[in-house]
A = this chain, B = another copy of it.
Amino acid sequence: MSDKIAFLGLGNLGTPIAESLLEAGYELVVWNRTASKAEPLTKLGATVVENPIDAITAGGIVFSVLADDAAVEELFSMELVEKLGKDGVHVSMSTISPETSRQLAQVHEWYGAHYVGAPIFARPEAVRAKVGNICLSGNTGAKERIKPIVETFVKGVFDFGDDPGAANVIKLAGNFMIACSLEMMAEAFTMAEKNGISRQSIYEMLTSTLFAAPIFQNYGKLVASNTYEPVAFRFPLGLKDINLTLQTASDVNVPMPFADIIKNRFISGLAKGRENLDWGALALGASDDAGLTK
């Protein structure tokens, strides 16, 4: 508990993670672009700062949970990384491109600091229930230092070696596979529906047998009822992630035909005004194509 931890980014995911760290007894200095979101954490003992650099301790630890590549690159200016300095560790939890992680890692190393890619698989409620899973990659000593800290809020920790971008590759692959699960259920349930079989009954059969995994059981519920509210993960973020996946794959010459279809589902969903739904609404595309939606 000796480390004072900087925590930058208190969105849907950042907030429950920060709360978990505070509850575990860590001393947190928090910052968020919209300061009002940080206020409730003061009751749990957090110190709120107006300027992110003021959260940083030389040689300390900083967590970041931000929206996208641009937000991480903007926040981690050379000035900030320089202050983090020798032996400082940046735990970068945002879903960003592996390439951005590799570039940021170089900047960190220049100043003697370490960048650890640390994306998490967890919806906000999964963080609170401590059933999420985190992937780590980057400097070995830095990973060892932060492991006991992340273990306070996840179920599983998976180490993907030295490459700071590797953990992001796994995160993108996982999100891609979730999106594919949505699309395959959408196509299968729609074929069933137009054969006079209720979406609910095919959902129940398949997710209690061959596909008895949380992804299919939880997202399948949305696809069975074609209901994509309330929002746990915003629709446009789905497009952001699949674009990152396709770029990452293209960078190493890997065609991904399923990812191309998913991308177009998101683009079409935006064209149809679905930007305020959960990203699961990509599954509406199959119903649209079959003439079932208006």
Q: Mark A252-292, 1 if CB is under 8 A from B, else 0.
A: 11111111010000000000000000000000001001110
A214 interface residue per 8 A CB criterion: yes
Question: Which residues on B sit within 8 Å (CB–CB) of A257?
Answer: 187, 261
Q: Which of B156, B187, B211, B254 contacts A258 (CB 8 A)?
A: B187
A94 interface residue per 8 A CB criterion: no
A47 interface residue per 8 A CB criterion: no
Complex interface: stretch among A6-14, A16-24, A201-209: A201-209
Q: Which of B191, B216, B255, B289 contacts A248 (CB 8 A)?
A: B191
Interface residues of A in 141-170 (CB under 8 A from B): 156, 158, 160-161, 163, 165-166, 169-170
Nearest CB in chain B to that of A166: its residue: B197
Q: Mark A159-189, 1 if CB is under 8 A from B, else 0.
A: 0110101100110111011101101110111
CB–CB A176/B188 < 8 A: yes
A190 interface residue per 8 A CB criterion: yes
Q: With the chains together, A191 CA to B251 CA distance in Å? A: 10
A140, chain B: closest CB distance, angstroms: 16
Q: Which of B166, B174, B195, B291 contacts A210 (CB 8 A)?
A: B174
A67 interface residue per 8 A CB criterion: no
A44 interface residue per 8 A CB criterion: no
**A208-B156 CB under 8 A given contacts A187-B259, A195-B165:** yes
Question: Which residues on B sit within 8 Å (CB–CB) of A210?
Answer: 121, 133, 174, 177-178, 213-215
Count the copies: 2
Q: With the chains together, A117 CA to B135 CA distance in Å? A: 45
CB–CB A212/B213 < 8 A: yes
CB–CB A191/B211 < 8 A: no
Q: Which of B172, B191, B254 contacts A169 (CB 8 A)?
A: B191
A-B contact pairs, 28 of them (CB 8 A): A98-B195, A121-B209, A133-B205, A160-B197, A160-B201, A160-B205, A165-B195, A169-B195, A170-B206, A173-B188, A174-B210, A177-B185, A180-B180, A180-B184, A181-B184, A184-B184, A184-B258, A187-B254, A187-B256, A187-B257, A194-B253, A194-B254, A195-B248, A210-B214, A213-B213, A252-B290, A253-B290, A254-B290
